[in-house]
Amino acid sequence: MASITIPYAVADFIEMRERGFYYVDKTQYIAKLEDYKAPVFLRPRRFGKSLLVSTLACYYDRTKAHRFEELFGDTWIGNHPTKEHNRYMIIRYDFSAMVMSDHIQGLAQNFNDLNCGPVEVMVAHNRDLFGDFEFTNRGDASKMLEEVLTYARSHELPKVYILIDEYDNFTNQLLTAYNDPLYEEVTTNDSFLRTFFKVIKKGIGEGSIRTCFCTGVLPVTMDDLTSGYNIAEILTFEPNFLNMLGFTYEETETYLRYVLDKYSTGQDRFDEIWQLIVSNYDGYRFRPNGDRLFNATILTYFFKKFAANAGSIPDELVDENLRTDINWIRRLTLSLDNAKAMLDALIIDDELPYNFSDLSKKLDKQRVFDIRFYSIILFYWGVITLKDKYYMAFPDKIMRNILLA
């Protein structure tokens, strides 16, 4: 049997390329992102955000210039490289690894424990530029970042490119745990999180940071940070970026033909498997007139199981690990008057009304628990998606079954 080259749960771009995994090329969006200094891109969980972050890190890291052809040679960006490739020093944060606490001091300590490391790694990787530089503020993530930015600027070093994956992961956990007072402490005044983003804002303004690219699920935390990071550019609904994550019909068709040729009897089963995929996994839409998109991770799970079963359809069409976190739905439904009735109507009617203009409105904590924005939160979480300008609906049978379960 051929080795399985379906990259389920692979979020590292270098591993993807070194091991010869099937890669859906999205690198044309790299050039478009260069028009922004503080882009924020939101998509439901398991939509491929971490692989995008890893790809950007490889593309811009000056210490990986010698591997550019190896990693990107057969991609769109490899054939159309921008002038900025491999020009920057990379700091990559992952807030999904944050350890929770029930008080602000514990969260601050855990935040620093997690986020001092990425700055130290950047200095270590670029030691040829930093010489005998040593930190004087170890243990404080914001001060360490500020210190390294000051050194880079004063010594005219290359700019820093910052990547923050799952920027809102731990703040969302606070909300779903009903810890609203602690959430407000984290996002207001001079909290550790606001201070951290203020350092980034200052670095962008002074020119020591080229870009800070953030991924996440909800805009709530970013909106609640207010003046602490009022330079954020939300690209979630921008037409040029709608298909940056998730698989289009064309990409999915090509992927399926690859899987059939390598792990089944060939193209004679295309119509059968295609109908199964469309019926169960199709699809998300992020503007009323946007393309329908397959969730990349859920689809890749199916393809890997299909390959491992030598072309047999798997018994389970979705991994248990991918079942959406229903804590948000539970919190909203229990907190909002009439929310249960709306949820019941969604299950019965397969649609829920919404106002398209609400998608572009500020969505802070106060609006999260406003019944008028119930459908908007379910949309961001990936439970429902845009059907047209007036209604949202389940994206596929899989999500409907998850909610019913």
d(C-alpha 335, C-alpha 212), whole Å: 35
pLDDT at 380: 93
Is the predicted pLDDT of residue 324 greater than 60, yes or no?
A: no
pLDDT at 105: 97
Average pLDDT, the chain: 93
Distances (CA, A) of 172 to 139, 241, 280: 25, 24, 28
List Cβ neighbours of 50 (8 Å cut-off, separation of 6 or more): 11, 94, 165, 166, 215
User: 204 or 358, which is more confident?
Assistant: 204
Is the predicted pLDDT of residue 18 greater than 70, yes or no?
A: yes
pLDDT at 75: 98
Q: Are 213 and 163 in contact (CB under 8 A)?
A: yes
Mean pLDDT of 186-196: 95
pLDDT at 343: 80
Q: Report phi then psi at 78, rounded to 5.
A: -65, -35
List Cβ neighbours of 145 (8 Å cut-off, separation of 6 or more): 91, 119, 196, 199, 200, 203
Is the predicted pLDDT of residue 255 greater than 60, yes or no?
A: yes
Lowest mean pLDDT among 119-128, 203-212, 380-389: 380-389
Q: Which amino acid belongs to residue 284?
A: Y
pLDDT at 316: 84
Residues 353, 358, 364, 370, CA torsion sign? negative
Q: How confident is the model over 213-228, as pLDDT tens digits? A: 999 999 999 999 877 8
Give which of 100, 48, 95 is closest to 197, Cα–Cα. Answer: 95
Q: How confident is the model over 26-66, as pLDDT tens digits? A: 999 999 999 999 999 999 988 999 999 999 999 999 999 99
pLDDT at 317: 85
Dig out the tokens for 68 from the structure: 């550019």
The domain segmentation of the chain, as residue ranges, is: 25-241, 249-321, 323-404
Q: Are 47 and 295 in contact (CB under 8 A)?
A: yes
Q: What percent of the chain has pLDDT over 70?
A: 97
Mean pLDDT of 201-223: 96
Is the predicted pLDDT of residue 180 greater than 80, yes or no?
A: yes
Mean pLDDT of 188-202: 96
* Cα dihedral: 123, 127, 131, 132 (round 10): 60
pLDDT at 277: 95
Which CATH number does the domain 25-241 belong to among 3.40.1710, 3.40.50, 1.20.120, 1.10.10? 3.40.50
